[in-house]
Amino acid sequence: MSTHEIKHVPEKTSPWPLLITLGGIAMISGLLVVVAYQITRPMIEANQRAAISRAVARVIPGAVSHRAFVISREGLRPAKKGERGNIIYAGYDKNGHLAGIAARASAQGYADIIYMLYGYDPKCRCIRGLKVLKMTETPGLGDRIKTDPDFLKNFQALDAKLDAEGKDLEHQIITVKHGKKRHPWEIDAISGATISSRAVGRALNASARRILPLLLPRIGELEKAAPQDSKETRP
């Protein structure tokens, strides 16, 4: 008889089964997510490192290895793993000489923020390469900032000299209308993608103004910090 009565008890819905079910499932879920995170983290980090290596090699001609540094008013120091902030990548050629510096830049484009990496060559004091890392610009229009060969020609030697005091750019980097480029510090816009082209100019200008005055006085430190093993690419 007693077992018969117990059978009817759950109909009254005690809160415990509900709590135990939800709590139990949530706990198992939490465990699974943490395990998945732990397993995939090294692979995701390796992917990110590989992506940065590829991008640095793209924007610094001749670079075979790179090291990451954090630049601030206090000076230059090697970046720790996973660190954020003013990170620059010093690229070294196969003889271990400084080939150039890569830095991040970003600006609001037409659809969303455009993230890019650009390469600065201290010898010509100009920007020598650009790679768009992430964007959601309109396919066929704005996304040509990544592929348009004429637009990318702007970044073969885009002037980024500092002024006499070394506090700011001598000439602000500016995007001009398609076909109106007259000076080496101007970017010739893509016709039909002016907003995206201007975003690239704004991003480069803002990043160069912020980073170059801090960086250029210390460029000798980067030259000395060349990796012993030229294969070293750890950030």
Partner 1 sequence: MSAIPHREPQEKQAVTWDVFSEGLWRDNPVLVMMLGLCPALAVSNSAINALAMGLATTFVLITSGAIISLLRRFIPKQVRIATYIVIIATFVTLVDYAIQAISLDLYNALGAFIQLIVVNCIILGRAEAYASRNPFGRTVINATGMGLGFTIALLVLGGIREILGAGSLFGFDLFGPDFEPWVVMILPPGGFIVLSLMLVAFNLVNRRLGGGAKQAKGHGHAA
Nearer to partner 1, 2 or 147 (CB): 147
Identify residue 15 by its one-letter amino acid code.
P
Judged by CB under 8 A, the stretch of 135-143, 149-157, 183-191, 195-203 that binds partner 1 is: 135-143
Structure tokens at 133: 């890392």
User: What is the distance between the alpha carbons of residues 191 and 207, in angstroms, rounded to a whole number?
Assistant: 24
**Binder among 1, 43, 228, 229 for partner 1 (CB under 8 A):** 43
**Binder among 3, 85, 123, 140 for partner 1 (CB under 8 A):** 140
Least separation in angstroms between residue 52's CB and partner 1 is 10
The closest alpha carbon to 173, from 204, 214, 212, 210, belongs to: 204
Nearer to partner 1, 22 or 167 (CB): 22
Judged by CB under 8 A, the stretch of 43-51, 103-111, 119-127, 157-165 that binds partner 1 is: 43-51
Q: Does 82 bind partner 1 (CB under 8 A)?
A: no
Beta bridge partners of 47: none
Contact 113, 136 (CB under 8 A): no
Least separation in angstroms between residue 42's CB and partner 1 is 9
Judged by CB under 8 A, the stretch of 70-78, 134-142, 151-159, 201-209 that binds partner 1 is: 134-142
User: What is the distance between the alpha carbons of residues 85 and 114, in angstroms, rounded to a whole number?
Assistant: 17
User: What is the distance between the alpha carbons of residues 119 and 52, in angstroms, rounded to a whole number?
Assistant: 12
DSSP string for residues in 88-126 = EEEEE-TTS-EEEEEEEEEEE-SSSEEEEEEEEETTTTE
What three-state secondary structure class fits 39?
helix
Identify residue 216 by its one-letter amino acid code.
L
Question: Residues 8-37 vs partner 1: string with x where CB under 8 A?
Answer: -----x---xx--xx--xx--x--xx--xx
Nearer to partner 1, 44 or 232 (CB): 44
Binding region for partner 1 (CB under 8 A)? 13, 17-18, 21-22, 25-26, 29, 32-33, 36-37, 39-40, 43-44, 47-48, 51, 134, 136, 138-141
